[in-house]
Amino acid sequence: RYMGTLYGLVFFSHQVGSFLGVWLGGRLYDLQGNYTLVWWVGVGVGAFSALVHLPIRERKLNAVAA
């Protein structure tokens, strides 16, 4: 029912994250002179994402004959 809206939100947030990730990575590189902090920020964001998704429990859907 809401798949179009959900896909739109997912892809929009993906594009915003891509822009901010590249921009912030460049800024941190300019400030630090290396990519160490950029990698640690990436590790932190990945760990946070994993924690957010832990409580998700998918329900098994029964196939409906067409």
| Domain-wise residue ranges, the chain | 3-53
- The per-residue pLDDT for range 8-32, each reduced to its tens digit, is 999 999 999 999 999 999 999 999 9
Tell which residue, 26, 50, 46, 49, has the closest CA to residue 38.
26
Measured in Å, how far apart are the chain's first and last C-alpha atoms?
17
CA dihedral 32, 38, 44, 46 (to 10 degrees): 180
Provide the pLDDT for residue 18: 93
CB 38 within 8 A of CB 28: yes
The predicted model scores a pTM of: 0.67
